Chain A
Amino acid sequence: MTGRIYFRPFWESNGNWYTGWSPCSSGTTTSFVAAWRRVHDIFTSVGLDNSHVAWVYSVNWNSSCSAGDPVNTYPGSNYVDWLGIDGYNTFTGPSSTPTDVFGPMVSKLSTVDPTKPIGLDEAGADSVFGTQDKNQYINEYFPYVANNNIRMAVWFNENFGYSVPPGTTQTNQWAIFEQEYPQDALPSYGDQSFQYTVTASVPNVAHVSAHTYWRGFSAYQAGVQSSSLVGSCGADSCSPPGHIQSTQQFLGQ
């Protein structure tokens, strides 16, 4: 049995912010595709086929330029196992639904390569405009995944902006489950408090603390319970630890 990994090179290449690989800021469509294929060929030359490494072609929800658009930069079916999209609700414009954020690119990718599964590789909704709004977006997110044949749903559980001065409006607070740091006087979002307690000792896994304190968004907790979502049982709660994932699941088939 072997370890597996999803490999997502050159993500959001249709945006103009990753200057190293985006045709929207430097380079060309041709050089992008050539680089993708070169890296792919190096991996496969040492035996890392798609039973070990699944190649994820992942783009932003919209394109900054035509040259970087998936219709021009898709490396080809032989070099890709998954299609993916990153998209966020910042609540700074008109109220957005997951259909608004992801729908157009899902349609486009479905035509670029209809044979590949589609995932939402980064999804998020900002916390700073209210728990209710964020929970509402999350309540729409899970049905969107289930009803649009989305085969992978990855939440960007990261908060940025901690280094801005106190009192400044902080944005990009994407997390739906965050550890509380009361000693830092940082805001904690979410409508649920949770105390995590280590329940089992797992060999070779050294948990840093027996008790930690967290906050979560109830809509996400409820959405995860959907039977349409396959998750890990986690090392602490499984006997034996670890999770099943067949090659078919791994490749979204």
Chain B
Amino acid sequence: MRFGITRLMLNQAGPTLGTSGRFKQSFLSCPRCQNRRGRSRMRAHAGAASLTMLLLVALLTGAPSLARATTAPYALLGMCPGNDSESAVLGDPSAGAIQQVAPSPAMILTELPAFTQWAGKGNLIVNTYDYNLDTTVPSPGDGEAPNTLLADLNAIWAEGAVPMLSWGRGVDLINSGQLDSEI
């Protein structure tokens, strides 16, 4: 999405680098995953049984669509949280600044459960945008300081969803190695 200019707030801060490993470590500490494994197996088994039955029926009936039977019959549902005036686009990544559309933890924790109750099914994927990966560096603007990346990820995980982090910085900065420590 190319964000609307009406919400563009420029930030002139230069690139900020750090050596924090907390972002990387966050992947290793999902707070609510332990209960998922058993049910995952149940789903896998049920899916395998259904596929077997479908193939069997197709063979017995001579149905021509065996290829479709091998296609997993699902898509993962997701959403980008937002819809209020707290979101902001900050800075120009080509200049090394941080761009961020910030679904605050409060927004995530408000919107996702409400959506689940309304729709009868929750979002498995939740998009978040463009953080500085160094979580020790405060994010400029929108009242979020320090950087809430880890809080946002934890909020999404807590709602039983998986974050999709959209991130981008200048490719020349990356290729020169200037962002290696942040990444």
Contact of A177 (CB < 8 Å), options: B73, B118, B163, B175:
B118
Nearest-neighbor residue (CB-CB) of B116 within chain A: A234
**Interface residue range, chain A:** 35 or more
What's the Cα separation between A206 and B159 when bound, in Å? 11
Contacts of B28 in A (CB 8 A): 2-3, 52
| Cβ–Cβ contact B166 & A235, under 8 A | no
Contacts of B72 in A (CB 8 A): 151, 253
Nearest-neighbor residue (CB-CB) of B87 within chain A: A158
Contacts A158-B82, A224-B121, A243-B160; A39 near B116 (Cβ below 8 A): no
Query: Can you list, as one digit per residue, whether each of B65-102 has a CB less than 8 Å from chain A (1) or not (0)?
Result: 00000011111111111111101000011110000010
Q: CB of B64 within 8 A of chain A?
A: no
Contacts of A2 in B (CB 8 A): 27-30, 33
What's the Cα separation between A86 and B122 when bound, in Å? 21
Q: CB of B62 within 8 A of chain A?
A: no
Contacts of B84 in A (CB 8 A): 159, 179, 181
What's the Cα separation between A39 and B24 when bound, in Å? 13
| Cβ–Cβ contact A228 & B160, under 8 A | no
| Cβ–Cβ contact B6 & A232, under 8 A | no
Contact of B122 (CB < 8 Å), options: A43, A233, A240:
A233
What's the Cα separation between A49 and B14 when bound, in Å? 31
Q: Which of B1-54 contact A (CB under 8 A)?
A: 1-4, 6-7, 24, 26-37, 39-40, 42-44
Contact of B77 (CB < 8 Å), options: A205, A231, A253:
A231
Contact of A243 (CB < 8 Å), options: B36, B42, B80, B183:
B36
Q: Which of A1-18 contact B (CB under 8 A)?
A: 1-12, 15, 17-18
| Cβ–Cβ contact A18 & B121, under 8 A | no
Contact of B75 (CB < 8 Å), options: A153, A159, A220:
A153
What's the Cα separation between A151 and B37 when bound, in Å? 21
Query: Can you list, as one digit per residue, whether each of B87-129 has a CB less than 8 Å from chain A (1) or not (0)?
Result: 1000011110000010000100111111111111111110100
- By CB atoms of chain B within 10 A, which of A119, A194, A224 has the most? A224
| Cβ–Cβ contact A224 & B92, under 8 A | no
| Cβ–Cβ contact B116 & A209, under 8 A | no
Contacts of B159 in A (CB 8 A): 205, 232, 234-235
| Cβ–Cβ contact A246 & B43, under 8 A | yes
Contacts of A209 in B (CB 8 A): 110
| Cβ–Cβ contact A9 & B121, under 8 A | no
Contacts of A197 in B (CB 8 A): 117
What's the Cα separation between A146 and B117 when bound, in Å? 23
| Cβ–Cβ contact B114 & A214, under 8 A | yes
What's the Cα separation between A58 and B182 when bound, in Å? 22
| Cβ–Cβ contact B113 & A234, under 8 A | yes
Contact of B40 (CB < 8 Å), options: A86, A227, A234, A244:
A244
Contacts of B31 in A (CB 8 A): 204
Query: Can you list, as one digit per residue, whether each of A221-243 has a CB less than 8 Å from chain B (1) or not (0)?
Result: 10011011111111111101111
Query: Can you list, as one digit per residue, whether each of A58-86 has a CB less than 8 Å from chain B (1) or not (0)?
Result: 10000000000000000000000000001
| Cβ–Cβ contact A8 & B32, under 8 A | no
Q: 13 new A-B pairs (CB below 8 Å) besides A3-B33, A155-B78, A179-B84?
A: A19-B93, A20-B94, A27-B171, A34-B171, A121-B127, A149-B71, A164-B6, A204-B31, A225-B120, A229-B76, A233-B121, A233-B122, A242-B35
Lowest 5 CB-CB distances: which A-B pairs, in order?
A3-B30, A234-B116, A154-B78, A158-B82, A232-B122
Interface residues in chain B, defined as those with a beta carbon under 8 Å from any beta carbon in chain A? 1-4, 6-7, 24, 26-37, 39-40, 42-44, 71-85, 87, 92-95, 101, 106, 109-125, 127, 153, 155, 157-172, 174-175, 180, 183
